[in-house]
Amino acid sequence: MNKPKHLLFILALAAGCGVAQSQAIGTEAWYAVPDARGVQVVNVECGNGVFDPREIVVKKGKPVELSVRTSEASQEFVSNFNPGKAIGKQKSSHRFTPTANGQFALACQKQGGGEDARVKAKKSGRLTVVPDE
């Protein structure tokens, strides 16, 4: 390969890696699948330092329902899409329709933990919103 083509190939490869890296989705991400109503439903379990699944991938512009439950008392589920909401051993539904692509924090924390707790929560996950193609 001559030098100009070789250099061009390396630059193109590096640029492609940079784009892929900025939109990385984890290897253990759960991809939400629409139910019969067209709602992307995912069951979420949190408690004892656990948030499962750690990453959820949904499509932009399609309704989402996170069915959240915990094994601990006095917990609340917080996200960028809904204000903090108390949860318990019975499932709690959190419905929204994402309007922007990107990655958003999800967490479970002690009730009344505040904004600082959301950032530091061990029981946290990530919602990745991708374009609907």
Domain ranges of the chain: 26-130
What does CATH list as the number for 26-130?
A: 2.60.40.420
DSSP 8-state secondary structure symbol assigned to residue 7: H
- For β-strands 40-47 and 33-34, DSSP reports them as antiparallel
Residue-wise pLDDT tens digits, 73-126:
777 777 877 666 667 667 888 899 999 999 998 888 776 655 544 445 557 889
Model pTM? 0.70
